[in-house]
Chains A and B, each alone.
Chain A
């Protein structure tokens, strides 16, 4: 699956529908679905919110891999931002010190089995994988 989406939260519904179709067509195990949906949404939302210097659509690609799925998001004409270098979140902090900031990328780093970042010619590409064997450990 390879498709471009407008830079709008309204596209999340379409992304979910396309992910549902891809999981069915490729017989991807449904136990991976929540983790894939979460990482996909958090990375897409992060691009929409913070890569405001571009108006290009965001490319999402999915492909089946052994026991799982590989998903890539590519954003064009943007600054470098490697999510694996984003700050950590103190999940043990008391309520008064907690804020939602940073939680999305923190969850991606927890949920994905691998994350790879590429940046060339102002093109930013994030690829993550989820595999059944790791998911069930």
Chain B
């Protein structure tokens, strides 16, 4: 199960498992984001390279306008995936509890 929605503050909230089967849903949603955006990952349990691809594509598009995605409340396991992928050098990331 994967869910993605805006919260009352305008942040994107993701939850569940962002895998290859769910990445088209995430991409379709994030394609609607046109400005700098916070992505709250507090309830995201899992991400694979398909999900990383969605974040990378969206971030690159937004960075062309000098904005981008900020990833917050990232759990330890997902932060490990970000570090292995070099995403910690590309995104502003705040880990859970930071």
A binding-site residues for B, Cβ under 8 Å: 9-10, 12-13, 16, 34, 37-38, 41-42, 45, 89-93, 95-96, 98-100, 103-104, 106-107, 110-111
Q: Please tell me which one of the listed residues B21, B63, B84 contacts residue A107 in the complex, with CB atoms under 8 A apart.
A: B84
Q: Are B48 and A98 in contact (CB under 8 A)?
A: no
Contact check, A96 vs B60: say whether CB atoms are below 8 A apart. yes
When distances are taken between beta carbons in the complex, the residues of chain B under 8 Å from A95 are 59-60, 63, 90
| B residues 39-74 in Cβ contact with A at 8 Å | 46, 48-50, 52-53, 56-57, 59-60, 63
Cβ-defined contact, B57 with A100, below 8 A: yes
Q: Which residues of B contact A16 (CB under 8 A)?
A: 17, 19
CB A52 to nearest CB in B, in angstroms, measures 16
Q: List 9 A-B contacts (CB under 8 A).
A: A37-B48, A42-B49, A92-B89, A93-B86, A96-B60, A100-B57, A103-B49, A103-B52, A104-B50
Q: Which residue of chain B is the closest to A91 with respect to CB atoms?
A: B86
Residues of B within 8 A of A (CB): 17, 19-21, 46, 48-50, 52-53, 56-57, 59-60, 63, 77, 80-81, 84-86, 89-90
B19 contacts across to A, CB distance below 8 A: 9, 12, 16, 41
Please list the 8 inter-chain residue pairs (A to B) with the smallest Cβ-Cβ separation, ordered nearest first.
Answer: A91-B86, A100-B53, A104-B49, A9-B21, A34-B77, A103-B49, A12-B21, A45-B20
B60: nearest chain-A partner, CB-CB = A95
CB-contact partner of B48 in A41, A92, A96, A106, under 8 A: A41
Known contacts A103-B52, A104-B48; decide if A41 and B20 are in contact (CB<8 Å): yes
